[in-house]
Amino acid sequence: MLLSADALGALLAEGGVVAFTGAGISTESGIPDFRSAGGVWTRHDPKLFTFSRYVRSPEVRVRAWAMRREFWSVQPRPNAGHLALARLEATGLVDGVVTQNIDGLHQAAGSRRVVELHGTSRDVLCVGTAPRAGTPDGCGFRAPTSWAFDRVDAGEADPACPGCGGILKAATVSFGQNLFPGVLEEATARLAAARTVRAVGSTLKVQPAAGLPAAAARRGARLGIVNNEATPLDPLATLVVRGTAGSILSAAAAAAV
């Protein structure tokens, strides 16, 4: 069922909403998503950046640091979509956000109850020297990413952990890397408590993340989907609004508040 931002606003006004967001909510902030035309995976091969290759290959790490440096050289800012969700949280209509994004823009917009399923690019951490089975195994060192970028800029193409000499990596979840402990449980609990799950800007294909809104819909929560293309969960949704996340969410928030 394709509906308008007004219908979405009416649903939001009932409260008990948890937002489930993906890369599509941040494209209007200038951050490319992965799978759209022009997205990151149309320009870089995702197989190069698995956790195990990162850990095994200094060349892959050098390339990853250079890519990160380039990617974050422009400070992205929250857009109308992030701001609308933060406003809805402040008014009590949205209980929080479960995001697949690593960009920190929900927090920058003012959202307080944010679960980052795939970690954050704002920090780096030590993953040890030979972590097994996709699980970081470092000494516990963690620092803001700007600290690592300063070292890259100073000429260290692959900066090492200052605590133990281990491998440093963005505090994100790469392909082949397990989710950080407790995060999936927290996200599951948030969605289990939701009367409505609002999925925004996601292909709803990346597992296990996409299983969360699907499970919520199957247990009877209302699922609303805002995306500019069809998703595999559209048949489970109470409401599908097709279009640009920023304008739809700001119109819906204006109708709800």
* By CB under 6 A, residue 116 contacts ligand NAD: no
Q: In Å, how far are 222, 240, 242 from 197, measured between CA atoms?
A: 6, 12, 16
DSSP state of 23: G
Of the residues 9, 22, 128, 213, which one makes contact with ligand NAD according to CB under 6 A: 22
**106 flagged as catalytic:** no
3-state secondary structure 70-137: HHCCCCCCCCHHHHHHHHHHHCCCEEEEEECCCCCHHHHHCCCCEEECCEEEEEEEECCCCCCCCCCC
Peptide bond into 78 cis (omega under 30): no
> To the nearest whole angstrom, how small is the minimum distance from the Cβ of residue 41 to ligand NAD?
8
Site for ligand NAD in 30-69 (CB under 6 A): 31, 33-36, 39-40
Q: Which span (11-19, 145-153, 162-170, 201-209) binds ligand NAD, by CB under 6 A?
A: 201-209
3-state secondary structure labels for all residues of 26-54: CHHHCCCCCCCCCCHHHHCCHHHHEHHHH
Judged by CB under 6 A, which of 227, 237, 240, 241 binds ligand NAD? 227
Binding residue (CB under 6 A) for ligand NAD from 8, 17, 19, 24: 24
**Interface with ligand NAD, residue 27, by CB under 6 A:** yes
Closer CB to ligand NAD, 128 or 201, in the complex: 201
Rounded to whole angstroms, how far apart are CA atoms 212 and 227?
Answer: 17
Give the nearest distance from C-beta 119 to ligand NAD in angstroms.
8
Burial 176-209 (b: 16+ CB within 10 A, else e): ebebbeebbeebbebbeebebbbbbbbbbebeeb
Among 13, 108, 179, 206, binds ligand NAD (CB under 6 A): 206
Q: Is 202 in the site for ligand NAD (CB under 6 A)?
A: yes
DSSP string, 5-16: HHHHHHHHTT--
Q: Which helix (DSSP H) or strand (DSSP E) does residue 242 occupy?
A: strand 239-242
Which residue, 28 or 89, has its beta carbon nearer to ligand NAD?
28
**Residue 26 touches ligand NAD, criterion: CB under 6 A:** yes
> Smallest distance, Å, CB 230 to ligand NAD?
8
Burial of 63: CB neighbours in 10 Å, binned 0-12, 13-18, 19+: middle
By C-beta, is 160 or 206 nearer to ligand NAD?
A: 206
Q: How far is the CB of 69 from ligand NAD (least distance, A)?
A: 16
Among 118, 122, 169, 222, binds ligand NAD (CB under 6 A): 118
Residues annotated as catalytic (active site), given as ranges: 118
Residues within the interface to ligand NAD (CB under 6 A): 22-24, 26-28, 31, 33-36, 39-40, 100-103, 118, 201-203, 206, 227-229, 244-245
